[in-house]
């Protein structure tokens, strides 16, 4: 009888474990890759005629390539904060890039994609550039990440680029492990860290890996020992991007080796447009040149501008057996990522959490080409400078003490060459209501 009871218990327990494992399997792994200062036209699959990105091209070919993905801000700290929280950066006072020792940062009370997924049963790992505060209360492991390896801000926060007494350090969790790491080593180190992490992952234990490059933010560097990148097209910028692309292939290969690729969502995008209008201080190293910065393509503007070139960036998403090859032209925003990934992961979002984004998953997993989207805002220096409603965009800035308003129909004029504010008074009035009512008007 005792043996019979043991067998029954063993059968029931084993079956329960299989059920639990099956439920866990339904939660997809997520790899979210963020480039730094990569422009819309810096990848071959987005029209660059010389830079070669065979891996990302192959993923874009079998997945979804978005041509109208926009960010909440054209500079890194506010843009990254919005990507991770699904909320505009003025809600938590991150108006601009945060320097070392800043008293500003992403408050620990803000929920991120990592913290939402962690509550939903995910393991979470961040590798790379954080840039959301370097003081206690602002750090990665206080925002839902189990582990962290990377730099707390950009690699140019040093002489001759920035006059500061800060020493750049590579961190593991909350502890500095390398002082003044070579810029040329960063991408290689990040790739190896990602591969090591994937080697430890198992089926049935969903994970979220956030890989945030320091490149191709200026100054651009790549692995000096690897001649393959120098011999390719696109100059120094092309070499940096080629190294990233090749590393992502090795990461995907590691994922396949672990048998995890079929249940993994892969996302690639950038934190803002290219720094093609960088200040003269960046050239003080005697090495950085104008062609080291990226390309906005057809779009007007670049990093630090709320024209499309500053906020419209590449966005590639692949999820085996869930998405098919598609070019997504509907405008969507970075603040949509948190609610979308939480929905796909079956990770509950607290009812009290006010999100500015909305779930857009059906645009990727179905044949739906267009949904009703809330107004989309572009913030800069702590306030909204532009609002998008479908193809209409109203931009309002103050320059030299003068208020400038511009209305564009991006379906007819994606390069924002013609201000049609006098020709469409009804559209101007409609978008003005949204811009004046930010952030409470949807």
CB neighbours of 230 closer than 8 A, spacing ≥ 6? 222, 239
User: Is residue 399 classed exposed, middle or buried when 0-12, 13-18 and 19+ CB atoms within 10 A define those classes?
Assistant: exposed
Tell me the average pLDDT of the chain: 92
User: Any catalytic annotation for residue 131?
Assistant: yes
Cβ neighbours of residue 161 under 8 Å, at least 6 residues apart? 219, 281, 282, 284, 285
Percent of the chain with pLDDT over 90: 87
pLDDT at res. 413: 98
Q: How far apart are CA 45 and CA 49, in angstroms?
A: 9
What pLDDT shows up at residue 284? 85
pLDDT digits (tens, 9 = 90+) for 173-193: 999 999 999 999 999 999 999
pLDDT at 231: 66
Taking the C-alpha atoms of residue 138 and residue 109, their distance in angstroms, rounded to an integer, is 10
Q: What is the mean pLDDT of residues 313-341?
A: 97
365-382, pLDDT tens digit by residue? 999 999 999 999 999 999
pTM, entire model: 0.93
Query: How would DSSP label each residue in 402-424?
Result: EEEEEEEETTT-TT-----TTT-
Q: Which of 76, 155, 191, 292 is catalytic?
A: 76
SS3 228: helix
Domains of the chain: 26-365 (3.40.720.10), 376-436 (3.30.1120.10)
Cβ neighbors of 251 (< 8 A, separation 6 or more) are 31, 191, 194, 195, 198, 211
Residues 133-140, mean pLDDT to the nearest whole number:
97
Mean pLDDT of 353-373: 96
Question: Comparing C-alpha atoms, which of 251, 250, 233 is closest to residue 242?
Answer: 233
Instruction: State pLDDT tens for residues 71-111.
Output: 999 999 999 999 999 999 999 999 999 999 999 999 999 99
DSSP 8-state secondary structure symbol assigned to residue 312: B
Q: How confident is the model at residue 226 (pLDDT cuts 50, 70, 90)?
A: low
Among 17, 131, 225, 442, which one carries the catalytic annotation? 131
DSSP-based three-state secondary structure for 332: strand
145: confidence class by pLDDT, cuts 50, 70, 90:
very high
List 125's β-bridge partners, or say none.
147, 209
pLDDT reported for residue 425: 98
Name which residue leads in pLDDT, 361 or 226.
361
Percent helix, percent strand, percent coil in the chain, to nearest 5: 35, 20, 50
> What span, in angstroms and rounded, lies between the C-alpha atoms of 121 and 185?
33
């Amino acid at each position: 009888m005792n043996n019979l009871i043991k067998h029954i218990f063993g059968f029931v327990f084993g079956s329960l474990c299989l059920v639990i494992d099956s439920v866990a399997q339904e939660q997809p792994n997520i790899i979210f890759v963020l480039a730094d200062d990569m422009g819309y036209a810096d990848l071959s699959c987005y029209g660059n005629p010389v830079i070669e990105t065979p891996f990302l091209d192959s993923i874009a070919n079998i997945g979804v390539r978005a041509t109208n993905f926009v960010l909440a801000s054209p500079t890194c700290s506010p843009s990254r904060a919005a990507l991770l929280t699904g909320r505009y950066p003025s809600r938590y006072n991150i108006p601009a890039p945060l320097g070392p020792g800043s008293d500003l940062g992403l408050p620990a009370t803000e929920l991120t994609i990592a913290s939402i997924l962690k509550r939903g049963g995910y393991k979470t790992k961040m590798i790379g550039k954080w840039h959301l505060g370097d003081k206690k209360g602002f750090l990665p492991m206080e925002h839902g990440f189990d582990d962290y390896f990377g730099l707390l801000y950009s690699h140019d926060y040093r002489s001759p680029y920035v006059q500061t007494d800060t020493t750049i350090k590579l961190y593991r969790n909350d502890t500095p492990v390398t002082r003044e790491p070579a810029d040329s080593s960063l991408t290689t180190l990040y790739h190896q860290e990602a591969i090591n992490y994937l080697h430890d992952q198992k089926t049935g234990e969903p994970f979220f890996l956030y890989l945030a490059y320091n490149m191709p933010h200026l100054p651009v560097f790549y692995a000096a020992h690897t001649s393959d990148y120098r011999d390719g097209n696109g100059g120094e910028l092309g070499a940096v991007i080629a190294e990233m692309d090749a590393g992502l292939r090795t990461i995907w290969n590691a994922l396949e080796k672990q048998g995890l690729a079929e249940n993994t969502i892969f996302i690639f995008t950038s934190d803002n447009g290219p720094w093609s209008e960088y200040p003269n201080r960046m050239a003080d190293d005697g090495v950085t040149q104008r062609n080291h910065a990226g390309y906005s393509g057809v779009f007007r503007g670049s990093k630090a501008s709320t024209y499309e070139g500053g906020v419209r960036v590449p966005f590639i998403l692949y999820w085996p057996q869930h998405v098919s090859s598609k070019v997504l032209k509907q405008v969507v925003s970075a603040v949509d990522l948190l609610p979308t990934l939480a929905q796909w992961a079956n990770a509950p979002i607290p009812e009290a959490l006010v999100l500015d984004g909305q779930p857009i998953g059906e645009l990727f997993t179905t044949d739906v080409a267009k949904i009703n989207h809330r107004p989309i805002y572009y913030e800069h220096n702590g306030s909204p400078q532009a609002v998008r409603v479908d193809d209409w965009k109203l931009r309002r800035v103050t320059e030299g003490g003068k208020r400038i308003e511009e209305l564009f129909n991006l379906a007819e004029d994606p390069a924002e060459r013609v201000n049609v504010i006098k020709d469409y008074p009804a559209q101007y009035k409609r978008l003005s209501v949204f811009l004046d009512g930010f952030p409470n008007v949807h």
